[in-house]
Structure 1
Amino acid sequence: MGVMPTPPLSRPLTLEDFEAIRDVEDGHRYELIDGVLVVTPSPVPRHQQVVTELLFLLRSTITPGHRVYAAPLDVRLGTDTVVQPDLLVAAPATVTAGWVDGPPALVVEVLSPSTRSFDLGAKLLRYEQAGTPSYWVVDPDEPSLRAWELDADGYREVARAAGDEVAELARPWPLRVVPADLAAGDLPGPVGPSL
């Protein structure tokens, strides 16, 4: 476990600053959004259950020319932005030995108390600005799914489903998602401090 260096206070962080800062094994997720360091706690089991179910669904329906990845995996969206979405779908040409370079075809974030406003605010905006074609947000507590697709005017919401409703999605390939199926199981709801 390394010692976290002090970040510069007089300017936005760069990729070099970010690499030095996050070289610490402390159980947190480190991301850089427009030069601002964002640190969140490790996910809880309910969050990871939804990620696992979605990963399985995406992998079992994948079409040629795509790869599916789960966090932690860096996605570099610029010289001042490195994110680690919960799930992503990327073209093989964008995947390097260490990260995904540029916007993935799909980004999925699973909400938690500490990331809800971030995932629905700053991250949504940053993915839109970077040109990410599809962005999904899953709320494991409701359960629900919201999906946006990029067009010439920016993101537009193309699906919203809760419980047993079916979200019919066209990108990155045709797919049906039932939010209740993602959160099914015998795991309890949030208890104590959670992501």
Structure 2
Amino acid sequence: MALMETEPDPDYPPSWQPPWHSSGPLTRDDLDRMPNDGHRYELIDGVLIMTPAPTIRHQDVVVNLLVKLKSACPSDLKVLVAPTDVVISQDTVMQPDLLVARREDFTERDLPTAPLLAVEVLSPSTRRVDLMLKFSRLEAAGCPAYWVVDPDTPELIAWELRDGTYAQVAKAAGDEIARLTVPFEVSVVPADLTL
């Protein structure tokens, strides 16, 4: 059987165009036009950050910490997981892995202010962003507490705002206990989060 030669199809492969204009820093409106393709899209200072779907280990930590936080959370606060937009400004929209905020601060669409607590579970693709960019933007926005969990160690590091600057208040690894008080009292054993 012989193959037939044909003219190339001008529509194949389809040309992809970004869903925004590249005339400057991106905004929340640009972010809203991103495709729903299983990736997490965030903006930090107008720069788009795309994160692939998380690993099962990452999600295990998120779910276990969610259960722990929800069981200790007072009724006037709410605990949510990503994807939940935290709108710091028109050019900075983040989706922490977990967050705690006042129920009254949420809209139907997002959290238009800094949360009381933001938590990131580290992965190779997000480690630098979580420990540097998100850390500094949440600090500047006045987020009272920021935690990171490294599922590989396992380890939890917690910071709280002191005079406008994050100060480390806890660092626990393995079976050690991190006793935290902001935004409410809770004790976390990093090893338990990876079960």
User: Which residue does the alignment assign to 2:173?
Assistant: 162
RMSD: 1.2
In the alignment, the residues of structure 2 paired with residue 148 and residue 169 of structure 1 have an alpha-carbon distance, to the nearest angstrom, of 10
1:51-62 map, 5 Å: 51-62=62-73
In the alignment, the residues of structure 1 paired with residue 17 and residue 67 of structure 2 have an alpha-carbon distance, to the nearest angstrom, of 35
In the alignment, the residues of structure 2 paired with residue 81 and residue 180 of structure 1 have an alpha-carbon distance, to the nearest angstrom, of 33
Query: For residue 18 of structure 1, what is the amino acid of its counterpart?
Result: L
Query: For residue 25 of structure 2, what is the amino acid of its counterpart?
Result: P
Contact 2:139 2:164 in 1 (8 A): no
* Stretch deviating more after TM superposition (138-147 or 62-71): 62-71
Query: For residue 21 of structure 2, what is the amino acid of its counterpart?
Result: P
Query: For residue 54 of structure 1, what is the amino acid of its counterpart?
Result: L
Q: Does 1:136 align with 2:152?
A: no
Contact 2:140 2:164 in 1 (8 A): no
1:8 is displaced (CA, Å) by 3.4
The 3-state SS of whatever aligns with 1:99 is: coil
Contact 2:159 2:166 in 1 (8 A): yes
Identity, in percent, stands at 53
- TM-score (normalizing by structure 1): 0.89
What is the aligned residue count?
180
What do the CA deviations read for 1:158-191 (whole angstroms, capped 9, x no partner)? 000000011111111111110000012xxxxxxx
- The correspondence for 2:28, drawn from 10, 15, 25, is 15
Query: For residue 35 of structure 1, what is the amino acid of its counterpart?
Result: G
What do the CA deviations read for 1:55-81 (whole angstroms, capped 9, x no partner)? 000011111310000111111011111
In the alignment, the residues of structure 2 paired with residue 59 and residue 147 of structure 1 have an alpha-carbon distance, to the nearest angstrom, of 18
Q: Does 1:106 align with 2:117?
A: yes
Ranges in structure 1 where 5+ consecutive residues have no aligned partner: 185-195
What do the CA deviations read for 1:131-171 (whole angstroms, capped 9, x no partner)? 10000000001000000001214100100000001111111
1:94 is displaced (CA, Å) by 1.1
- The correspondence for 1:176, drawn from 163, 170, 187, is 187
1:7 is displaced (CA, Å) by 3.5
The 3-state SS of whatever aligns with 1:172 is: coil
What do the CA deviations read for 1:21-74 (whole angstroms, capped 9, x no partner)? x2x122110001111100010011000000000000001111131000011111
Ranges in structure 2 where 5+ consecutive residues have no aligned partner: 1-15
In the alignment, the residues of structure 1 paired with residue 68 and residue 31 of structure 2 have an alpha-carbon distance, to the nearest angstrom, of 33
1:5 is displaced (CA, Å) by 2.9
- The correspondence for 1:80, drawn from 56, 81, 91, is 91
The 3-state SS of whatever aligns with 1:142 is: coil
The 3-state SS of whatever aligns with 1:100 is: coil
1:9 is displaced (CA, Å) by 3.1
Structure 1 144/11 Cα, relative in aligned 2: closer, same or farther at 3 Å?
same
- The correspondence for 1:27, drawn from 38, 49, 54, is 38
1:6 is displaced (CA, Å) by 4.5
- Which has more radius of gyration? 2
Query: For residue 30 of structure 2, what is the amino acid of its counterpart?
Result: D
Contact 2:58 2:123 in 1 (8 A): yes
Q: Does 1:95 align with 2:106?
A: yes
What do the CA deviations read for 1:83-131 (whole angstroms, capped 9, x no partner)? 1110000101210010011001100000001001110000000100111
